Amino acid sequence: MRTEVLAGPERRRRWSAAEKARIVAETNAPGAQVAEIARRHGISRALLYMWRRVARRERDDAALPGLVPVVVAPRPAACRPAADGGVIEIALPGAVHVSVRGVVDVKQLRAVLAALRP
**Co-location of 56 and 74 in the same domain:** no
Averaged pLDDT for residues 102-110: 78
- DSSP state letters, 75-106: PPTT-PPPTTS-EEEEEETTTEEEEEESS--H
**Co-location of 76 and 116 in the same domain:** yes
Distance CA 101, CA 78 (A): 14
Q: 0.75 cut: is pTM over it?
A: no
Domain contains 101: yes
Distance CA 45, CA 27 (A): 11
**Co-location of 74 and 48 in the same domain:** no
Q: Which residues pair with 96 in a beta bridge?
A: 92
Whole-angstrom distance between the N-terminal and C-terminal Cα of the chain?
A: 50
Distance CA 102, CA 98 (A): 13
Could you list the residue range(s) of the whole structural domain that residue 100 is in?
67-118
**Co-location of 59 and 71 in the same domain:** no
pLDDT, residue 9, reads 59
**Co-location of 110 and 75 in the same domain:** yes
Total structural domains within the chain: 2
Q: How confident is the model at residue 41 (pLDDT cuts 50, 70, 90)?
A: very high
